[in-house]
Amino acid sequence: LPGLQRAHPGVGLLVHVGTYAEVVGAVLSNQCELGFVAYPMDNPAIRQTPVLDATAVCAMPAGHPLAARATVTVEDLKGERMISLGQDVPSGRRAAEIFAARGVPREIVLETQNAANACAFVKEGLGLAILDPLTVTAMLDARMAARQFRPSIHFSFSAITRAERPLPRICATLLSVIAETAA
């Protein structure tokens, strides 16, 4: 975030990672000026600024046989040990719907609400996970591989703020830096 530091020298950021509900709640209760979510919402009290659209990936331990493929499908995951995002996470709910619609049972060995935690479990060889590509890319190292997942699970990353409040200048600068980076 050098661009932000140049525009606002001496200003620091506090980054708190929370669930979707926690981030929305923090913005609505004025605990923070700006939040980031991976799913669209319909709440008149929230202003959304689109940042990036992406589709889910399948994260797997490095060396897994499915890493030889460019794309992993639901059917490829039959019989695989899975790390799942919970039903209260929109992408976790969508993955469960896709598996059910295709008639592919999931062997869930672990459930978490957090994609970064899921990546850590994947790296330990506990299973595979269907996750957002930003988290997986940030966590990617020699212990984990990622491949496109089909059918697609869409993520619409956006910044959220209170609708009735003007965006503070530093937040506008941060959004500008993020949009530049995303592009």
What is the per-residue pLDDT across 69-111, written as a single tens digit (0 to 9) for each? Answer: 999 999 999 999 999 998 888 889 999 999 999 999 999 999 9
Q: DSSP H helical segments within the chain, as ranges?
A: 2-7, 20-28, 90-101, 115-123, 133-139, 169-182
Average pLDDT estimate for 4-18: 76
Per-residue model confidence (pLDDT) at position 103: 97
Q: Which residues contact 11 (CB under 8 A, 6 or more apart)?
A: 4, 5, 170
pTM of the model: 0.80
Q: Which pLDDT does position 106 carry in this prediction?
A: 94
Task: Supply the DSSP symbol for 89.
Answer: S
More confident residue, 88 or 48: 48
pLDDT number for residue 11: 76
What pLDDT score was predicted for residue 129?
A: 98
